[in-house]
Amino acid sequence: MSLLARTLNRVLFQSAAATSRSLHQTSAVQSTAAEPDLHPDSKRATCTLIPGDGVGPELTQALTEIFKGADVPVDFEPFFLSEVNTMMSAKLEDVVKSIQKNKICIKGILATPGYSVDGELQSLNMKLRTALDLYANVVHVRSLPGVHTRHKNIDCVIIREQTEGEYSALEHESVPGIVECLKIVTAKKSSRIAKFAFDYATKNKRKKVTAIHKANIMKLGDGLFLRSVEEISKLYPRIAFDKMIVDNTTMQIVSNPNQFDVMVTPNLYGSIVDNIACGLVGGAGVVAGASYSADTVVFEPGARHTFAEAVGKNVANPTAMFLCGTKLLRHINLNEHSERLQNAIFKVLSDGKIKTKDLGGQSTTQEFTHAVIHNIE
């Protein structure tokens, strides 16, 4: 990392370390949190922090203020990682080593250019997921108090396989004007994400898992994904299982979202459904997500938008990033801190006096942040 980047990170953030249990060693994702490996004297944990692009640095800075204001025993090890600000970016391998060491990470959204750099087709996001094997993305979409939306009482979970499918970065121009793209689907990874979804449903007392697919057209690729999920479903007789074609899913979720409980999807479909579902409960600023490997967890907003046009304007909604913080705290068994923070967030939203512009108010990012700090008991 350059001296400039290190200096910037030191000014913006602080750091230290925590750990989590391997997902492969449990039957349900939310039980992956092992007791934090805290220093016996300091009793503090360390979390890798990636500010991200766009408004990401502003939102992660707000989160560090919240943690400090609530006296949360978590410090941050910051790395500025970017595909668009490459001169200031840390090396990917350094970031990966930090996350592997700390086991947990808070991440702002990384911008992905719509063009290849030096012929490189894999985005930085894809490289990070591949290096850590962050195969399961989990976005819990739920109605929030004080956030007025067309549909009420939404509570569904979208679990997305995010290491293969259309995101395999295997493209080539066979002849001028003709590009071929390979969509990779494997039985191993399809079964792995299916088991993750049913384990999640079991642990969290969910009643139904719906497989999202396009097997009627992509009979081999999506057919393999669907068959893999169907096979895994037989191991969980207490969890209802159904399947839905992805284009019908997009219509059903906007017309009757309450019919969904847990959805398990291939890579591209999960990205699309995530964004639609986030829009139903208030938008990109209010939904948190997390990506899991066997050993690490990366917490980031559920809808991956950098909101670059709002940089420096102090108008971005930090709710999604704050909810990432509550998920992080639960993951490392700091449940009391998590509950205090979540209650404060919901209190501010429910009161409705402090609202950012995306929720119909005129409050700033900082005003919302200070209101949450003020309401932490």
Question: 150-280: same fold as 1-134+296-377?
Answer: yes
H, E, C per residue of the chain: CCHHHHHHHHHHCCCCECCCCCHHHCCCHHHCCCCCCCCCCCCCEEEEEECCCCCHHHHHHHHHHHHHHCCCCEEEEECCCCCCCCCCCCCHHHHHHHHHHHCEEEECCCCCCCCCECCECCCHHHHHHHHHCCCEEEEEEECCCCCCCCCCCCEEEEEEECCCEHHHCCEEEEECCEEEECCECCHHHHHHHHHHHHHHHHHCCCCEEEEEECCCCCCCHHHHHHHHHHHHHCCCCCCEEEEEEHHHHHHHHHHCHHHCCEEEECHHHHHHHHHHHHHHCCCCCCCEEEEECCCCEEEEECCCCCCHHHCCCCCCCCHHHHHHHHHHHHHCCCHHHHHHHHHHHHHHHHHCCCCCHHHCCCCCHHHHHHHHHHHCC
Q: Return the CATH superfamily for domain 150-280.
A: Isopropylmalate Dehydrogenase (3.40.718.10)
Of 80-89, 257-266, 313-322, the poorest mean pLDDT is in 80-89
pLDDT band for position 85 (50/70/90)? confident
1-134+296-377: CATH topology is: Isopropylmalate Dehydrogenase (3.40.718)
Task: Please state the rounded mean pLDDT for residues 337-360.
Answer: 96
pLDDT band for position 117 (50/70/90)? low
Could you state, in order of their start, the residue ranges of all structural domains in the chain? 1-134+296-377, 150-280
Whole-number pLDDT of residue 169: 87
Task: Please state the rounded mean pLDDT for residues 74-94.
Answer: 93
- Reply yes or no on whether the pLDDT at 344 is more than 90: yes
Whole-number pLDDT of residue 74: 96
- Reply yes or no on whether the pLDDT at 35 is more than 50: no
pLDDT band for position 118 (50/70/90)? low
